[in-house]
Structure 1
Amino acid sequence: MFEGHVLYLLRKYLGEYVEGLSVEALRISVWKGDVVLKDLKLKAEALNSLGFPVTVKAGFVGTITLKVPWKCLGKEPVIVLIDRLFVLAHPAPDGQTLKAAEAATLEATNRNSRGGPAPGGNSWLYNLISTIIGNLKVTISNVHIRYEDSVSNSGHPFASGFTLSKLAAVTVDEDGNETFDAGVALDKLRKSVELHRLGIYHDSDSNPWKLNKNWEALNRTEWSEIFQDGIEDGSQSSIWAVNRNYLVSPINGTLKYKRLGKNERGDPDTPLEKASLVLSDVSLTVTEAQYYDGIKLLEAFSRFRTRVDVSHLRPVVPVKEDRRAWWRYAVLAGLRQRKLCYWFSWERTRRLCQLRRRYVQLYATLLQQAAKVDISEIREIEKILDMKVIILWRLLGHAKVETVKSKGTLYRKGASKKRWWPFAWNTTGLPSEEATHPESQLDEEEQLTKEEWQAINKLLSYQPDEDMSFPLEKVSPNVIQFMMDVSIGQAGARIINIDGTEVLCGRFHQLQVVTKLYPKSTCCDVTLKYCGLSSPEGSLAQSVVSEGKSHALDVSFVRAPIGMDLDWQLIAKISPCHVTVLI
């Protein structure tokens, strides 16, 4: 009964990121419960949600697999497999593109915020989502996302990126073995996430990749040949990974999450939720060139945030060719930043009203995926509008579409009540036209019969009268609501100058950071077994810790200590340390 809903969600969310989705093939796969999508191309606006002035130059997804056990939905997990996610990004080409990206991002944010209250309490949707997500089995492998920039630091192009060999998340039992939890709205939950070879690199003075053919013409093997180096263990011998410098060398780790059930929440010293992250070996390396590139990149992002509101006013010609346009841009941008309403004349107001009606009509038609929509007219109107005005008018377009859908739904309900002969039903066993368009049905729980809802509730062990919420006002101030435990076996950090000489090197062993969140207080404890600092001339500092004695560092910070009239409290203990002063 949920096949149409899953199909709609896949089309809606996957369609925002990838191109070439076959709706018919996707529909057949969803009804079979085994969706396999291969060799997908990412859209240029796939990274718009990050809010950065970047766009996708080329992107490839090797395989997306979704396995939904429709007949055993309450007994077997939903499996999601993503393999070979390769993305090549670069700075957005012009101000108008930046403006469009920012507008799309903020528009999506506004739509999500208007979507209604968050699921919780005794909401059936909350129980459904909890059951599916709580038992979701996700595996992501062979990920490489690369950003190339020849603009931010003029004369010094650079490339940054991160690689990931594998990320796997499963539901486990008390012993750490994989299981399926079909409890009441997953009242008690345990998850385990395995991380393999996550690395972050930054190559200074690195020219962008160049190919002999277009990125769109690459096949799966060619994509893997270019992006695969560095993901798995082994030497980086190809030309695509030459001179690769890691900021964070590939690391492995394990994350475990545990949430107590309602019947287990009696001991205030036991956290209601706990997450534990264990990293074995962490290595950081920062060069002087990488530092300069990072500063220039942050400056570029800062300029983007400053100029995005007036980017549509910025001339596209050099100053020498049209000085008048640049003076006009300077004046209008200054007035806009001071929020002076210089443009509100009666003629201007009348013109804006006409544009608003026309834009809302065009955008509403575009949302309904009509083939005759004039995209160029929409773009021309957007060129003379402020970004926030565009977002407001787009939201009006969404509201208009929702109004039309609501009227259509009411009309269909009224028409169905008038049908009294059996010919009105679909007797061929095939999905009707209305059933093939779940978009118009997703917001209506009444589409399912009472018997169907009872069957689903029984499957999910959900009782409508139960309240799964845990009100904060009933929680004692001494109860630990959430605890995060981060442990690092050993780590090292190096600073290298422009000549490639190591300037400073630091290392430590057995670092543990424990953070506890109370209803009105926060506590953070840091312990360190050993630490040392050295330079090319020799050791600068080294902790002295005898076996079985205190740590090299023991720090406890508390914000708003319970039972004390203090804003914060800090307690620190440092073991003896040998320090060398070089003169």
Structure 2
Amino acid sequence: MFEGLVRQLLAGYLGRYVKDLQLKIGLWNEEVLLENVELILEAFDYLQLPFALKQGRVGKLSIKIPWKKLGWDPIIISLEDVFICASQRDDDEWSLDSVQKREISGKKAKLAGAELAKLSRRVCDNQAGQSFISYISAKILDGIQVSIRNVHIIYIDKQSGCAEFIFGLRFSSLSIMTDSRPKPNCFGSSSGKFRGSQVNKTVEILSLGIYCNSLEEASNSFGVDDESFLFYDSRFGSNSCDYILDPVDVVLSLVVNKSGKLEQGGPQYNVTAELTTLVILLNEIQLLRILILLDYLSTCALREKYGRFRPWHNPLSRKLDGWQRMWWHYAQESVLSDVRRKLRKTSWSNFGRRISYRRKYVSLYKRKLELLHQEQPVDEDILQELEQMERESEIEDILRYRSIAEHQLQEFLSNSLSSNTAVNGSDTKEKQQNDERSAGEPRGWLNWLSLGMLGAGGTADSSQFAGVVSDEIIKDIYEATKFHPVPSFGGGITVKEKVYLSSFKFNIHQIVATLGSKYRYLSFIPFLELQQGNCSFNI
């Protein structure tokens, strides 16, 4: 049974992010091997990045699954020669259609996250102080080992009037292994009550560095021209890189709460980073490029919001006929867009429209949930109309409408169950047959849950599982994940008590920051040097 779940997860993950994936994978050979695969860049639209991904490639992806000892031996995931190239967005990527496409992807991801939190509360039976998501995260982390080699991420800065620069992040290897050394309990009291309820992992990153070079220098060093450099992979030498952060080895100690129980003062995730020496080397040109990049990123946030009104076909540098009117219209529409957004929620003229809009969405979404509950396909017209309404609505409104529809459906199902007890009792055999049939079907909640945890909502699979979670689904989740909520007898977390999600602690033995000149004979002058620095904070 579990092999089918793993097959379903692999198909969902790999098919979403890898181009032209042929899912003819022999899982019983204990290894999934893919080589020289291209990433689907559109799959990352939900992140709403301020820059454009131009290329992504993985030289080798290997997943080893120990079927004979599954649950005892870890699943080993290996990646080699990972290369990602990003640059500034072109003007056409700030058009209305492109911006709305990214907004919709981001909105679906946020809705998936909200539905995931709702599922967590339902699975925990609304018990205060318990987290199903934390339990699942720890269970996944406990069962895998990860090895990543030769990672190179570059950002090419091509702004008009300036020399083209390249920012790069690279590391030679990253490994996530189980830490067998005894550690103090980070969750709850030290009485031993939660002994064995935490997952200890060690993350080791070797030769992590950040550099900033001019594109001309990088092209000359690598012996390629500007265009072909975009397709250069991660396996080149690092001697000619002008590093801002000298390559450093980082060791992270990760402790995750496996019990799913929230304790006062005990974070769900505890991260401790250990660095020996942190060397920062910066010249005046790199400092200027960093400031230009920060200015561009702040401008991107405004363009994401107002770029749809900008006359991109009529730039200020050319000043064609009527340019004053076009740019005045751009400024006017940008200001009025904020005003209209506020008036949709507060003006009396839109009050009636919002009520009818809510009734329509609740009716459509309730109908969708009814069809899913009856295991019937949802009409395409309903899905398209719901998607169009979600495009025009705020996330808070969508969640409120869905809650109303789910509450109405829950009441309807409860009333139907109480009035038809005799009928249900006489059809026990038929119900068992239906349960056996449904047990052999793919678990829709599994792929939905996995994509929701990644923030990649809004896929075709998300329409197969949503809304009111039945007791049968909850039972299936308990059986598959072995999660059983513990009833709280007055010992739960109250509203006034603080519960931290994450705790971070950095131990840096030495920090050296140096600022100097690139072209003068003046040597670099260190302006900051710290010994034995410690920093910690909670979220």
Q: Report the residue type matching 2:508 in the other structure.
A: S
Q: What is the aligned partner in structure 2 of residue 336 from structure 1? A: 337
**Structure-2 residue corresponding to 1:196:** 206
Aligned with 2:24: secondary structure?
helix
Give the secondary-structure state (helix, strand or coil) at the position aligned to 1:45. Answer: helix
Q: 1:67 to 1:251 in 2, by over 3 A?
A: same
Matches within 5 A, 1:399-410: none
Q: Which residue of 2 aligns with 1:548?
A: none
Separation in 1, partners of 2:29, 2:156: 41
CA distance in 2, matches of 1:402, 1:36: 43
Greater share of strand: 1
Between the aligned partners of 1:402 and 1:20, the Cα distance in structure 2 is 38
**What is the distance in 2 between the residues matched to 1:318 and 1:244?**
39
1:80 equivalent to 2:87? Answer no
1:284 corresponding residue in structure 2: 280
| Structure with the larger RCO, 1 or 2 (CA within 8 Å, 6+ apart) | 2
1:510 shift after superposition: 7.7
Distance 1:509 1:137 in 2: 37
CA distance in 1: counterparts of 2:75 and 2:3, whole angstroms: 13
- Deviation string for 1:416-469 (max 9, x for gaps)? 996958996899x9996667996646966725978x967974xx8x785699x9
Alignment pair present for 1:301 and 2:308: no
**1:524 maps to what in 2?**
none
Residue 318 to residue 245, structure 1, CA distance change in 2 (3 Å)? same
Partner of 2:109: 108
Residue type of the alignment partner of 1:21: L
Correspondence for 2:505: 484
Preserved CA contact (<8 Å) 2:254 2:271: yes
Change (3 A) 1:71 1:338: same
Q: Secondary structure in 2 aligned to 1:89?
A: strand
Aligned twin of 2:24 = 25
CA contact (8 A) 1:122 1:466 kept: no
Q: Contact between 2:210 and 2:246, CA under 8 Å: does it hold in 1? A: yes
Deviation at 1:121, TM superposition (A): 5.0
Is the 8 Å Cα contact of residues 275 and 484 (structure 1) preserved in structure 2? yes
The 8 Å contact of residues 483 and 514 in structure 1, kept in 2 or not, is answered as: no
Give the letter for the 1:196 counterpart.
L
Partner of residue 95, structure 1: 94
SS in structure 1 at match of 2:278:
strand
Aligned to 1:526: none
In structure 2, relative to structure 1, the CA distance for the partners of 1:285 and 1:259 (3 Å cut) is same
Closer, same or farther: CA 196–122 of 1 in aligned 2, 3 Å: same
Once the 2 structures are TM-superposed, how far is the Cα of residue 247 of structure 1 from its aligned partner?
0.8
> Which of 155, 160, 166 does residue 162 from structure 2 map onto?
155
Is the Cα–Cα contact under 8 Å of residues 150 and 158 in structure 1 kept in the other structure? yes
SS at 2:211 equivalent? strand
Partner Cα distance (2:526, 2:3) in 1? 55
Q: 1:455 to 1:212 in 2, by over 3 A?
A: closer
Answer 1 or 2: which has greater helix percent.
Answer: 2
Map of 1:136 onto structure 2: 144
What stretches of structure 2 of length at least 5 have no aligned partner?
Answer: 184-192, 260-264, 369-375, 417-422, 449-463
Partner of 1:546: none
Helix, strand or coil at the partner of 2:117: coil
Question: Pairwise mapping of residues 307-322 of structure 1 onto structure 2 (< 5 A)?
Answer: 307-319=303-315, 320=320, 322=322
What is the CA–CA distance in structure 2 between the aligned matches of 1:454 and 1:389, rounded to whole Å? 37
What letter corresponds to residue 333 of structure 2 in structure 1? L
Report the count of equivalent residues.
Answer: 468
Aligned to 2:36: 39
* Structure 1 position 185, deviation (Å): 9.0
Corresponding letter in the other structure for 1:2 = F
What is the deviation of 1:168? 0.7
What is the CA RMSD across the aligned residues, in angstroms? 6.0
Q: Deviations over 1:533-562 (max 9, x none)?
A: xxxxxxxxxxxxxxxxxxxxxxxxxxxxxx
1:446 match: 472
Q: 1:213 and 1:504 mapped to 2: Cα distance? A: 34
Q: In the alignment, is the contact (CA less than 8 A) between 1:187 and 1:261 conserved in 2?
A: yes
**What residue in structure 1 maps to residue 517 of structure 2?**
497
Question: Distance in 2 between the 1:33 and 1:133 partners?
Answer: 19
Instruction: State the Cα distance separating 1:146 from its structure 2 match.
Output: 0.7
Identity of aligned residues (%): 21
What letter is aligned with 2:2?
F
C-alpha separation in 2, matches of 1:127 and 1:161: 35
Q: Distance in 2 between matches of 1:454 and 1:445?
A: 12
Letter in 1 for 2:519: D
Q: What is the CA distance between 1:402 and its match in structure 2?
A: 9.9
Deviation at 1:77, TM superposition (A): 1.9
* TM-superposition CA deviations, 1:164-188 (whole Å, max 9, x none): 1111111122279xxxxxx979414
Q: Deviations over 1:207-235 (max 9, x none)?
A: 887578898xxxxxxx6x643114xxxx6
Per-residue deviation, residues 445-495 of structure 1 (Å, max 9, x unmatched) = 725978x967974xx8x785699x985999999xxx96725133x553332
Residue equivalent to 2:253: 256
Pair 1:453–1:305, CA change in 2 (3 A): closer
Q: How far, CA to CA, are the matches of 1:466 and 1:162 in structure 2?
A: 47
Deviation of 1:78 after TM superposition, in Å, equals 2.6
TM-score, scaled to structure 2: 0.64
Match for residue 531 of structure 2 among 492, 507, 511: 511
Please say if residues 170 and 193 of structure 1, whose CA atoms lie closer than 8 Å, have aligned partners that are also in contact: yes
Aligned letter for 2:152? Answer: H
1:7 Cα deviation (Å)? 4.0
**Deviation of 1:286 (Å):** 1.0
Over 3 Å counting, the alpha-carbon distance change for 1:391 and 1:369 in structure 2 is: farther
CA distance in 1, matches of 2:170, 2:377: 37
3-state DSSP of counterpart to 1:317: coil
Equivalent-residue separation in structure 1 for 2:6 and 2:405 (angstroms): 22
- State how 1:162-311 maps to structure 2 within 5 Å: 162-174=169-181, 186-204=196-214, 206=216, 210=225, 226-230=233-237, 236=239, 243-257=240-254, 275-311=271-307
Q: Check the 8 A contact 2:513/2:529 in 1, yes or no.
A: no
CA–CA separation in structure 1 for the residues paired with 2:136 and 2:445 = 22
Per the TM alignment, residue 81 of structure 1 is displaced from its structure 2 partner at its CA by 1.8
CA contact (8 A) 1:485 1:512 kept: no
User: Aligned ranges for residues 277-426 of structure 1 at < 5 Å?
Assistant: 277-319=273-315, 320=320, 322-323=322-323, 324-339=325-340, 389=393
Contact 1:78 1:132 in 2 (8 A): no
In the superposition, relative to structure 1, how do residues 84 and 122 fare at CA in structure 2: closer, same or farther (>3 Å)? Answer: same
CA separation in 2, counterparts of 1:82 and 1:345? 57
Alignment of 1:426-575 (within 5 A): 440=464, 446=472, 457=482, 471=493, 484-488=505-509, 490-497=510-517, 499-502=519-522, 504-506=524-526, 511-515=531-535
Task: Give, in whole Å, the separation in 2 of the partners of 1:115 and 1:82.
Answer: 28
Match of 2:454 in 1: none
Tell me if structure 2 keeps the 8 A contact 1:482–1:517: yes
1:64-97 residue CA offsets vs partner (Å, 9 max, x unmatched): 3333445534322232222221111111223123
**Hey, what does 2:57 align to over in structure 1?**
60
Distance 1:129 1:271 in 2: 14
Alignment-derived partner of residue 556 in structure 1 = none
Match of 2:41, SS?
coil
Q: Is the 8 A contact 2:201 2:253 kept in 1?
A: yes
Once the two structures are superposed, what CA deviation does each residue of 1:226-255 show, in whole Å capped at 9, x if it has no partner?
Answer: 43114xxxx65xxxxxx5311112111322
The structural deviation recorded for 1:193 is: 1.8
TM-score by length of 1: 0.60
Q: Which runs of 5+ in 1 are unaligned?
A: 177-182, 216-222, 237-242, 263-267, 520-583
